[in-house]
Each structure stands twice: as C-alpha cells, then as structure tokens.
Amino acid sequence: MKSVQVSIVVTALLLSACSSIGPAPWQSTGTEWIDLSHTYDKSTLYWPNNTRGFEHVEEAHGTTPAGFFYSSYSLSTPEHGGTHIDAPIHFAANGLTVDRLPMASLIGKAIVVDVVAQATANRDYRLQVEDLLAWEKVNGRIDPDTIVLVRTGYGRHYPDRARYFGTPRTGAEAIPELHFPGVHPEATRWLVEQRDIKALGIDTASIDYGQSTDFLTHQILMARNKPGFENLANLDQLPSRGIFVVALPMKIGGGSGGPLRIIATRAR
C-alpha cells in the first residue's frame, strides 16, 4: 500500500510539472521546423586555405547478385566548412571538444538579431553592442542561456565564393582579401558577460569578420566553453524571437568542429 501511495504522489508531481512547463516547442500544432543548414556537396564552401573540400565517393550503387538494390558511399570533409560548429577547443586550449559538448549547449530558445541593412552597406560590418541594445528595446531583455543568431543577409550569396567571401580566390594569399560581416569582440564580450548566452551563430563564414587577424570574438566566446555556429542558412525565415533551436553536430572524438545539422521552430 505504501508503494502505491508513493507512486500516486510521484505521478501527481510529474503531471503538475508538465502542466507548468507546457508542451515542448515541437508538440505545438502552431509551429513548423526551418532547416538552417546548407547541403554538403561539391559546392560547399571552406576557408580559402583548406587544401581539400567535401568528398563523397561512390563505393556501391546498383542491383546486387542477390537481386536487391544497394548503395554505399564514403565521405571526407574538413571540420570547418559548410554549416558547421566551432567547438570551444577550436580557440581555447582547455575548451570542450565536439564530443564532450553537453546537449544543453546545443538545444534551446533562440533569437535572431538582424543587421542586414548595416552589413549590406558595409561588407566589413561587425555587430555592435548598440545593435543588441536596440534589439532589446523592441523585443525585451535577452534571457540567460539564449542562442543568439546574427542575420547579416549574406546567406543569400552562398555558395557563390566571390560574393560570400568577398574574393573568388583560394589559398593562403586569399585570406587578406576576405570581406564579410561578423560580430565585434565587445558585442561578444557583452553577450557572454552581461547576458550569459548559450551559443552564437551567424550566416557568414565566421563569427569574426573577414578582415580579422586575431579572431578575438572566437577567443572570447570559446574561453567560456560556448560553441559557435557558422554558415547558417534561412535566417530570413525566422522571427526575432520565440524560436527553439536544435543544433546537432557530427560527434567527432576530439574534434574542434564538424558538420552541423541545425533546425529551428517558428510559428505558422
């Protein structure tokens, strides 16, 4: 009898908790999922000095001697290219590797900060603290553990290398010619210190702008064991707030980054 009473109490507590939390974002009939990932194929963009790109090699494709169809491929890719994650170890000596990132760092509520006008006028624009304060003035304070996504509008240029990177060239000599928007280190510092965000994403090749030589935005973010999401797609399909993101990378042991399938909900 005592065990039955305990079971009833536990069940009641669980039901009470569920009712107070409400349905999960994907359970609502008023939401839909938006894919924020670019497809991996021969057009996938990588940093100019990457010596190899995405390789998808056919090993089998067709009807087997037993009479059934079978296909299989091998793949190879640098960690950092296409829609991908930067794990903290990418710029922090003691940072977490991809396989050690907790699920809580990759899933949660998100916002979109729009700087399309500024970035269109200036390829070297960097998100400023003032942009974030302006966002808050309209939408309210950014909550702790929020995933912040920065929309520059450059996702529309992908995979046109010249328009996306600011130069059509490849190789180490192309790096000084990179011109695309990013996030100013002071804005990054403000986000991690004043708002304690969970992760930072952007629709360009890097959270640091193209002309960066010290990658200070990466350093500040990843020193706090917070990941970055780069080369995001379809941010124009998301509202400023009320978003829920799931960002699951390939689980590479010891990886500093890897291919990322990132999706987000939006209200219909």
Model confidence pLDDT, tens digit, residues 8-21: 444 444 444 444 44
Indicate the pTM of the whole model.
Answer: 0.89
- Please report, for the chain, the start and end positions of each structural domain, with discontinuous segments joined by +: 26-40+78-267
Average pLDDT over residues 40-61: 96
Q: What is the DSSP string of 147-209?
A: EEEEE-SGGGGTT-HHHHHS----SGGGGGG----EE-HHHHHHHHHHS--SEEEESSS-SS-
Contact 175, 208 (CB under 8 A): no
Tokens at 8, concatenated: 């009833």
- Give residue 213's pLDDT: 98
What are the phi and psi torsion angles at 230 (to 5°)? -125, 160
Choose the CATH number for 26-40+78-267 among 3.30.499.10, 2.40.128.20, 3.50.30.50, 3.30.420.10.
3.50.30.50
Burial class of 58 by CB neighbour count within 10 A (0 to 12, 13 to 18, 19+)? exposed
For 89-112, what is each residue's pLDDT tens digit?
999 999 999 999 999 999 999 999
- Give residue for tokens 């600011």: 166
Return the pLDDT at 231: 98
Q: Which amino acid is at 1?
A: M
